[in-house]
Structure 1
Amino acid sequence: MTAPVSISESADAAALPTLLLVDGSSYLYRAFHAMPDLRGPNGEATGAIHGMVNMLGWIRDHLNAEHAVCVFDAKGPTFRDAWYPEYKAHRPPMPDDLRSQIEPIHEVVKLLGWPVLEVPGIEADDAIGTLARVGVASGHKVVISTGDKDMAQLVNGRVSLINTMAKPPEVLDEAGVLAKFGVPPERIIDYLTLIGDAVDNVPGVEKVGPKTAAKWIAEHGSLEGVMAAAASIKGVAGENLRKALDWLPQGRRLITVKCDCDLTGHVSTWPGLDALAMKAPDLPGLLDFYTRFGFRSARAEIERLLKGQAGASSTGAPVTVSGAAVAPGGTGDLFADPPAPHTLPEAACVTSTCYDTILTWADFERWLARIRAAELVAFDTETDSLESMRARIVGLSFSDKVGEACYIPLRHEGPDAPEQLPLDEVLARLKPWFEDELRPKLGQHIKYDTHVLANHGITVRGYRHDTMLESYVLEAHRKHNLGDLALRYVGRAGLSYEDVAGKGAQQIPFAQVAVDRAAQYSCEDSDLTLAVHQALWPQLQAEPGLKDIYERFEMPTSRVLQRIERNGVLIDKALLQQQSHELAQRIMALEQEAYALAGQPFNLASPKQLGEILFVKQGLPVVKKTATGAPSTNEEVLEKLAEDHPLPARILEHRSLAKLKSTYTDKLPLMINPDTGRVHTNYAQAVAVTGRLASNDPNLQNIPVRTTEGRRIREAFIAPPGHVIVSADYSQIELRIMAHISQDENLLRAFADGVDVHKATASEVFGVPVDEVSSEQRRYAKVINFGLIYGMSGFGLAQNLGIERSAANAYIERYFQRFAGVKRYMDDTRAQAKAQGYVETVFGRRLWLPEINSGNGPLRAGAERAAINAPMQGTAADLIKLAMVAVQDTLDAEGRASKIIMQVHDELVLEVPEAELDWVKAAVPRMMASVATLRVPLLAEVGAGPNWEAAH
């Protein structure tokens, strides 16, 4: 059962039956623009369909309406077009992707049990206004679900508005209208007439906005009063009012909702409301619809309900079907509306009987017994820092049943903080449960909580699930924080961290948050994590390939990443400081050289000053312009100009060195953990849609390796005494994956024979024997090999090689003639991506491409390029994850002292005792090469040295 939305109403209205009027036209546009590129199984646009289904499911569950109707605008002109030919003239035509969804939306609304109404010649607003008047006359209270401000004119003691797409949903009664617009409902028409309606192309008074309109109406009582006082209103606003006096009556006529339309023939039994009685959903019809349009979780729920009906038919037991059951707001259908602010289903009420605050040992022991006996427990840590390696526990929450949770405050402080159980003793009693592999545990972003507990000497075992990773595997292109997951998958909204601790400079430490507020927040986190898991896990179980990605790749990777982060890497602080000093000297020298070349000092970091020097004083050609029309001085432009002019070359070098200095040589020493003497990066696992890891604080993946200065940074990543750094790197991994996926005979043969693949490509493209390929031809072939993987065009290849575009196109054409399997793969992959909205890695990871069918040409082209490359990048990401897990498991199984300290792109970096070096150099590349069997052999190359750079 779902708690109804609270709508304040007059005492006489409270007991009346409800007539619910849904402004379908208002919602379908907003739903479409919220998810314009969402696609169904056959590539058709479905964003508006998903939005409408979710909104209708949500509102049916939250408003107990005996009668309802979903009203849409009909095709063709209305009476307002006859009154004013310019009415809505500026509106762009309906997008094709939205037009194609109108008929399916009408179909599914009816299948959900809603009456549908569209009346030619009038707008949906007018039909709603007419029905509202009849509803009130027939003894109903009326709720209008809309996002259209014009409808506020209909509000009275028996008519209210609800906007379910506001966050949180907004309810407007008479007091709400006054609070929002500054005028009561009966003056909304006057108010709108003065400010006009740009969307419908109805002019108001020029430069008169909401505040001025509300002020005038308050002072003069009505539109008529304002018009009568026009001569006395001063300033530009008064002048504009006087200019508009002849227009305002017509504007008011256009804005007024017509409430006396003849609906005969459109609503049977008119003017009664019997035809608007809500019906039971058509479950078989919905099952077919949800299958056609890709509603995964909703389809599964319909199948469950149909089985329940079949079972009930044999026993006579009734089966109750709610709106959320057949139209689940936010259970994986990609567009969801939240419930009212912090309004949760009654089964998950946040009360003292549902959420416990543990302040006594008796309560602690009661909950400890519960979690020991539970099949699965979600838990969450509240801490004093977001830095996982330094965070200390402030409180803990646990949930073993949706809607029920407890919070154990441990380090809250302040005059109102209650006496709390001692931290060390609580953790000592919980430690056996935390470290028991057989006690199943669940979390949201479990890597962080594992670090936090490790800071207190607890090694967490028994993690079975991570909701962040469940969502990431299902829909890598979506957001995966708990707030978004809760709204998207279970239609629930909880408190945010800012709600309890404040924002920005006003934010307080969590230890200073009031215990009752902290308890609600933390209990919600554990409770919602459990609820989200119960929504996501069945979806993964229904997709064996994705379930395998989750269980074999992501969960083990999270475990290993936590170990890598905790290991950290030793940094030579003195060397970095020396490099920083040398960079500073070179940067200063470059500034002086730039001043000399420019003939004057200037700010090298100022695009405006640089533009004046380059394009005005020196007269260099303008390569590209910014959005404002100014000549661009971005890196691409400077690289082009640097081919022929010395000053742009100096600017580029200056920028590169300044970035190295600020990002690495200055910053890395400040990031050394004083407790360990090491830098501990954070690996973000649920960010890249390809499955690749992202590194931050510091970002180890962006250290430049093509310049001498960049490579010197890696010299500061060192091994401690008695150890060496070992680097094990997959060789040409994406080209090998291309050969495997495309099954191109020439590529497969080159790798099978151990031939230099770039020489083999050059041999095919240039028609010369492999042993006669020149270094220049090999360089060209290398650019072609890697360029085509990333979707490089003839134009891009020409720029990269510095050749004519016609020559570049000829090279690409010749490449595809010789490597026909690659061309076939690219064509097939684009078609597959367009048809299903995603591509897959070799192992079945799903790589979503939301823009693949976009009407925006550049976005669509970018998605097509990504479709070619994503399976290779994603498969490479899968392989390095398998390798990471295999290496770590072997190190543990053999009791080795060697440890992985970094994972960067296709490379594993280890810190190895000298005594284990020979074993590591032999075993690690062998393990990396054997984690999967492809049509070509995998090869990992290994190097060792006193620092990271030397290991290459």
Structure 2
Amino acid sequence: MPENTQQRLILVDGSSFLFRAFHAVPPLTSPNGLPTNAIHGVTNMLRKLIADYHSDYITVVFDAPGKTFRNDLYDQYKANRPPMPDDLRDQIAPLHKIIRAMGLPLIMEASIEADDVIGVFARQAERHGFKVIISTGDKDMAQLVNDNILLENTMTNTRMDVQGVFDKFGVTPEQIVDYLALIGDSSDNIPGIPKVGPKTAAKWLAQYGTLANLVANAHEITGKIGDNLRDNLAQLALSKQLATIVCDLELPYSIDDLKQQPMDVDTLKSLLTELGFTSWLRILANTQSAAPAVKAEAHKITEATKEKETATKLETVETTYETLLTEQQLDNWLTQLQHAELFAFDTETTSLMYGKALVVGVSFAVTAGKAAYIPLAHEYPGCPDQLDRTTVLEKLRPLLEDVSKAKLGQNLKYDSHVLANHGITLRGIAHDTMLASYVLNSTASKHNMDDLAKHYLAVETTHYEDVTGKGAKQIPFQAVAIEQAAPYAAEDADITLRLHQVLSAKLAEIPSLQQLYSCLEIPLITVLARIEANGVLVDTAMLAQQSMELASTINALEQQAHDVAGQSFNLGSPKQIQTILYDKQKLPVLKKTPTGQPSTDESVLQELALSYPLPKLLLEHRSLSKLKSTYTDKLPQQINNKTGRIHTSYHQAVAATGRLSSSDPNLQNIPIRSAEGRKIRQAFIAPDGYQIVAADYSQIELRIMAHLSADAGLLQAFNEGLDVHKATAAEVFGVALDQVSNDMRRSAKAINFGLIYGMSAFGLAQQLDLSRSQAQAYIDLYFARYPGVKRYMDTTRELAKEQGYIETLFGRRLYLPEINSRNAARRQYAERTAINAPMQGTAADIIKRAMLTTDAWLLKAQPDAKMIMQVHDELVFEIALDQIDNCKAQIRALMTDAAALSVPLLVDIGVGNNWDEAH
């Protein structure tokens, strides 16, 4: 928190943060469909600055429309910049209105860039004895830094002083302009010296001090880079002039003009209501007129608060965090924990990888604002004596293993693994704030504690990097000084408890979500932890052989690509691919990047591959290279030394639809349709005396579609056990079942699955190699034969537009912020999601229910069997040879009984020595 010893001027680079917020904040829309993500990002930043600094002087500066004096100097200045996206342009006017209603001076000067206006104000304020904070993400501003002028990036929560400039760029603030002149700036189209990058520029300026001295001694620079310098000396003066922030302009503003004015509360409330900014509105509910009151309220928020749902107001929470270093302190807290109805629990560890993480310390909270940290394994010079880890964990064991003692945490699955590494089984998991947030709104981009605290409590927490450092300088947690570690760790437990109080109240308002949370997601934590701990065996020799085969194929594809291109090039370089495809081969440009360059992303290459050979080779090369690097090369490195198995991590709070995802390794992405993907699955093996058993729901999303749409034709096909794709082909093409050809069935299958995912006539035409009119005719025929499906899709779209979300069969919600967007592409994507998500989400809920019942049976019956993987609609087991038949019958029964649909759930079960054989 900044000191309060000197008056400050806060200068906000509005243009910098406008663009960065637009690209950083996920798409958001107001109730009437106006994009609001940039407004949301910029205003949050402004509110944070107001709360952090309590300064009377805070001004926001934007670039004015039109050209500036730099365009007169150089007509190509900023010529490469793409036009502003419509969704960003639409947000500028309402953002300016909000800023003015907040009482903040907003300044735009025609023909002068915001950087220059800020430079003038900064130097002017410095002369009046002010400290100046420039809030920006623009590196050019580093030239203004001195002892009285600092840069602060509110989006990354970093500050840059004189030393910070040198640490980041390798040059002093006084050298920044020379540095920029040398390296140029592609975004502003400032030329620079070709091939001179930041390291070379910093090295030259360290040696010669100034650009002038470098130019005078340019003859000393050897090699090609020296030639480049000498060949381009003529443009250095222009580059430096373009990069220099002009601080001596005459502007019609005094220091008093930069002072914050009283807030226009009524106008602000009206604007926030129109934009749908409900959280800010709640804060304003108790604000009557003046900006000082708002600043005081914002200060309370950032210090420590919780939002009371029943009163829509913020209250200050006094915090008392204790560090337990004695047996007496520990015993006192154990007594409190024994008598608590619920307590928050968190571990600090030696690693983020659960398989090898050991406890460094543990923290608890029983009431809001009161928490404790027990350091157990900190190691650094001068570290004070700590309680013995083994002794403390044994004292905690009865409490942690007692199923009747309710525990609360943030991502408790991780903590359960860490305790298991010490021989403790965590029981009594009652709540998890990460999952509560996820169930409330799965489309929210982040469910980590720091972001949840900011969103729900308006609290800026201490981050992990704040105590451990970042990047190469980061230290392990055990090396963090206890006086720093203790408040950080205790805060984690405290904030988790306070988040639970807010989130549990929100869940209670929506019974279907409360049921989903408490009866599905929470009990699934221990099931997933058990699957992760079981792990799976892999055949490393087989993977090594596959890596060699893939390398050979990849090399052959690379040579073919070079032959087709007529030259060698790097197949991993988007820039070189772009040059070959568009400049040399003149392929059509189907899509452009945000910077206006022809795109080489996968979807573009897939479309080009339908007509041209090189994109097809590039796709094959990408696919095989990814398989090699992600699986055949990496899987052996991921084997746990103690167990000899691979232990993936399953994530409950990532996929918006409710599906599980996995990482390290990602089991969901191993392709099943390609020969190479199936080979990788062959390396997932059973130990001697066991086999792999894979149980897969058959056509589950189509069955859910039949249930949700209640279409008579689909219901009949499934209930009579017909081949649904064949039955669809018979309906669409008007032939008898026994006259359906393989091509007809293939087309029907594409239609069945395509419509579930919102495929258009254009997409179907591409997939089936038809004209667009033929594809549309097929879709029209399909809807004519299955009118219930059409009715369901139309109704779902309208319902989503009306309420802003859709639900699965079990009440899981998927919010669709773009469903009423004025941007047609975003709106249509949301509409497709509205149709597909209830099916995909319901399928996710069903397999989670099956996992719960199957795990319960395994624990009770104790067969020699383990559940070892969950992938898409499939559960994978490792079962002793003599128990396979009995287990298959039980697994099938439990999976088919996981949901009662109006059509039967069918489960295909395979058995084999490896995963591929069993599938």
Q: How high is the TM-score relative to the length of structure 1? A: 0.73
For residue 32 of structure 1, the aligned residue among 22, 38, 46 is 22
How big is the shift at 1:449? 1.4
Could you tell me which amino acid in structure 1 is paired with residue 149 of structure 2? S
How big is the shift at 1:814? 2.4
Does 2:448 correspond to 1:458?
no
Tell me, yes or no, if the aligned pair for 1:371 and 1:377 is still in contact at 8 Å. yes
For residue 298 of structure 1, the aligned residue among 280, 300, 324 is 280
Give distance in 2, aligned partners of 1:660 and 1:193: 42
Does 2:161 correspond to 1:164?
no
Tell me, yes or no, if the aligned pair for 2:306 and 2:498 is still in contact at 8 Å. no
How big is the shift at 1:812? 3.4
Secondary structure of 2:97's counterpart equals helix
Partner of 1:323: 298
How big is the shift at 1:866? 5.1
Deviations, residues 457-500 of structure 1 (Å, cap 9, x unaligned): 32222223323323433244624455665666655354547963
Does 2:400 correspond to 1:449?
no
Secondary structure of 1:38's counterpart equals coil
User: CA 1:382/1:23 → structure 2, altered by over 3 Å: closer, same or farther?
Assistant: closer
Give distance in 1, aligned partners of 2:355 and 2:603: 37
Tell me, yes or no, if the aligned pair for 2:300 and 2:316 is still in contact at 8 Å. no
Give distance in 2, aligned partners of 1:169 and 1:682: 31
Give distance in 2, aligned partners of 1:382 and 1:558: 19
Give distance in 1, aligned partners of 2:886 and 2:480: 52
Does 2:374 correspond to 1:408?
yes
Does 2:580 correspond to 1:629?
yes
> Within 5 Å, which residues of 2 pair with 1:372-771?
372-374=338-340, 376-384=342-350, 388-389=354-355, 391-400=357-366, 405-412=371-378, 418-473=384-439, 474-476=441-443, 478-482=445-449, 490=458, 492=460, 494-496=462-464, 500=468, 519=486, 522-523=489-490, 525-527=492-494, 529-530=496-497, 533=500, 537=504, 540=507, 546-568=513-535, 605-611=555-561, 626-629=577-580, 663=631, 680-696=647-663, 700-701=667-668, 710=678, 717-718=685-686, 728-770=695-737
Q: How many correspondences in the alignment?
A: 872
User: CA 1:829/1:257 → structure 2, altered by over 3 Å: closer, same or farther?
Assistant: farther
Deviations, residues 265-322 of structure 1 (Å, cap 9, x unaligned): xxxxxx573893442572x65555444434354344445x47xx89xxxxxxx99852
Tell me, yes or no, if the aligned pair for 1:204 and 1:251 is still in contact at 8 Å. no
Secondary structure of 1:629's counterpart equals helix
Deviates more, 1:136-145 or 1:847-856: 847-856
Tell me, yes or no, if the aligned pair for 1:377 and 1:440 is still in contact at 8 Å. yes
User: CA 1:374/1:110 → structure 2, altered by over 3 Å: closer, same or farther?
Assistant: farther
Could you tell me which amino acid in structure 1 is paired with residue 262 of structure 2? K
Gaps of 5+ in 1: 8-13, 264-270, 311-317, 333-344, 592-601, 618-623
Does 2:6 correspond to 1:5?
no
Secondary structure of 1:427's counterpart equals helix
Partner of 1:596: none
Could you tell me which amino acid in structure 1 is paired with residue 460 of structure 2? R
> Within 5 Å, which residues of 2 pair with 1:864-879?
868-879=835-846
Deviates more, 1:437-446 or 1:758-767: 437-446
User: CA 1:667/1:767 → structure 2, altered by over 3 Å: closer, same or farther?
Assistant: same
How big is the shift at 1:734? 0.5
User: CA 1:383/1:946 → structure 2, altered by over 3 Å: closer, same or farther?
Assistant: same
Deviations, residues 69-115 of structure 1 (Å, cap 9, x unaligned): 33444445667777877665554433211121112212322343434
User: CA 1:715/1:828 → structure 2, altered by over 3 Å: closer, same or farther?
Assistant: same
Tell me, yes or no, if the aligned pair for 1:384 and 1:510 is still in contact at 8 Å. yes
Could you tell me which amino acid in structure 2 is paired with residue 298 of structure 1? W
Deviates more, 1:292-301 or 1:126-135: 126-135
Does 2:50 correspond to 1:99?
no
Secondary structure of 2:580's counterpart equals coil
For residue 45 of structure 2, the aligned residue among 41, 55, 59 is 55
Gaps of 5+ in 2: 221-227, 308-314, 568-573, 586-599
Tell me, yes or no, if the aligned pair for 1:43 and 1:835 is still in contact at 8 Å. no
Give distance in 2, aligned partners of 1:187 and 1:697: 44
Deviations, residues 149-168 of structure 1 (Å, cap 9, x unaligned): 565676677x5344233633
Give distance in 1, aligned partners of 2:610 and 2:294: 74
Deviations, residues 840-869 of structure 1 (Å, cap 9, x unaligned): 433343446788899999998877655543
Partner of 1:777: 744
Give distance in 2, aligned partners of 1:168 and 1:846: 33
Tell me, yes or no, if the aligned pair for 1:435 and 1:462 is still in contact at 8 Å. yes
Partner of 2:808: 841
Deviates more, 1:407-416 or 1:710-719: 710-719
Partner of 1:262: 252
Give distance in 2, aligned partners of 1:327 and 1:409: 27
Does 2:81 correspond to 1:110?
no
User: CA 1:809/1:121 → structure 2, altered by over 3 Å: closer, same or farther?
Assistant: closer
How big is the shift at 1:188? 7.3
Give distance in 2, aligned partners of 1:907 and 1:48: 41
User: CA 1:452/1:240 → structure 2, altered by over 3 Å: closer, same or farther?
Assistant: closer
Tell me, yes or no, if the aligned pair for 2:554 and 2:624 is still in contact at 8 Å. no
Secondary structure of 2:555's counterpart equals coil
Tell me, yes or no, if the aligned pair for 1:22 and 1:144 is still in contact at 8 Å. yes
Give distance in 1, aligned partners of 2:758 and 2:734: 24
Secondary structure of 2:423's counterpart equals coil
Larger radius of gyration: 1
Give distance in 2, aligned partners of 1:181 and 1:587: 42
How big is the shift at 1:765? 0.8
Give distance in 2, aligned partners of 1:417 and 1:368: 25
Q: Percentage identity across aligned positions?
A: 47
Could you tell me which amino acid in structure 1 is paired with residue 275 of structure 2? F
How big is the shift at 1:762? 1.3
Partner of 1:371: 337
User: CA 1:580/1:64 → structure 2, altered by over 3 Å: closer, same or farther?
Assistant: closer
Deviations, residues 534-588 of structure 1 (Å, cap 9, x unaligned): 665555556555444433332222222123333456x5x8xx589779x77x988
Give distance in 2, aligned partners of 1:935 and 1:852: 29
Secondary structure of 2:578's counterpart equals coil
Tell me, yes or no, if the aligned pair for 1:126 and 1:261 is still in contact at 8 Å. no
Give distance in 1, aligned partners of 2:59 and 2:607: 62
Tell me, yes or no, if the aligned pair for 1:57 and 1:326 is still in contact at 8 Å. no
Tell me, yes or no, if the aligned pair for 1:302 and 1:325 is still in contact at 8 Å. no
Tell me, yes or no, if the aligned pair for 2:697 and 2:905 is still in contact at 8 Å. yes
Could you tell me which amino acid in structure 1 is paired with residue 751 of structure 2? I
> Within 5 Å, which residues of 2 pair with 1:813-828?
813-823=780-790, 825-826=792-793
Tell me, yes or no, if the aligned pair for 2:631 and 2:680 is still in contact at 8 Å. no
Give distance in 2, aligned partners of 1:461 and 1:751: 42
Tell me, yes or no, if the aligned pair for 1:301 and 1:325 is still in contact at 8 Å. no
